Amino acid sequence: MLYGVLKWVVIGPWLRIVYRPKVEGLSNIPKRGAAIIASNHVSFSDSIFLPLVVSRKIIFIAKSDYFTGKGIKGFFTRLFFSGVGAIPVDRTGGKAAHGALETGLRVLGEGDLFGIYPEGTRSPDGRLYRGKTGVARLALQAQSPVIPVAMLNTGELQPIGKRLPKIGRVRISIGEPIDFSRYEGLAGDRTVERAVTDQIMYALMELSGQDYIDEYAIKAKALKQQADESTAEAERVRLERGRRDGD
């Protein structure tokens, strides 16, 4: 119920007025039946604007941190994600995410839309990164079509670290459903699952126009953090030397 209230009464109308979402390919979302919505992920607000433009409810997975935060911010974050039916997922490894993927199969088995970000996390720099094969496992086990969706400028409106998106028109491109029924019975075959995932990522690259990087985004984030920490440490040392020389 909270999902409907937020979307149609409390938040949705204002977001439509302020951000005027422009959507291409909306007719590619089926009016009924199960489907996997596979989107690139460039901004926190992706999980807000995509469900806003699709009339049917999309059930997403979300990192478990959103459900365990402390204080007032943690309370409202937990309330929001729980209210919109998001499923918590531990991103520390494939086994830890097994429960969330099983829940995804249940959602699809009930004929609903299941949203997933194949990259596993937000892009650290706006580029498109290697997809994790969980999306392929879902598609093959559930025998559900995959609909690629590109969020085109939400990363510019709300970069990582920015609490609220800037005012601007949100643009979204929805591709045609991809049918993987030819691989029926091959769920669990790593080669097939990688091929299916790569096909989905290629579709996302074509829709979004992003440069593709053949490595996982979580690794790129870790390397970026290390580089930032090294730069900060070098700057601290430089300033310390400057103070000593000044003395």
User: According to the model, what pLDDT value does residue 63 have?
Assistant: 74
User: According to the model, what pLDDT value does residue 227 have?
Assistant: 67
User: According to the model, what pLDDT value does residue 83 have?
Assistant: 67
Show the DSSP H helices in the chain as ranges.
Answer: 2-5, 12-19, 46-53, 71-83, 98-109, 134-142, 154-157, 190-208, 217-246
In SS3 terms, 28-42 reads as HCCCCCCEEEEECCC
Cα(94)–Cα(13) distance, integer angstroms: 38
What six digits make up the tokens of 233?
């440490």
pLDDT 10s per residue in the chain (247 long)?
Answer: 666 766 776 678 888 899 999 999 999 999 999 999 999 999 988 988 998 899 999 998 777 777 887 888 777 777 777 766 777 776 665 555 677 788 889 999 999 999 999 998 899 999 999 999 999 999 999 999 999 999 999 999 998 888 788 999 999 999 999 999 999 999 989 999 999 999 999 999 999 999 999 999 988 888 777 766 677 766 776 777 767 766 6
Torsion angle defined by CA atoms of residues 181, 137, 117 and 147, in that order, rounded to the nearest 10 degrees: 10
Collapse the DSSP code of 124 into the 3-class scheme (helix H, G, I; strand E, B; otherwise coil) and give the result. Answer: coil
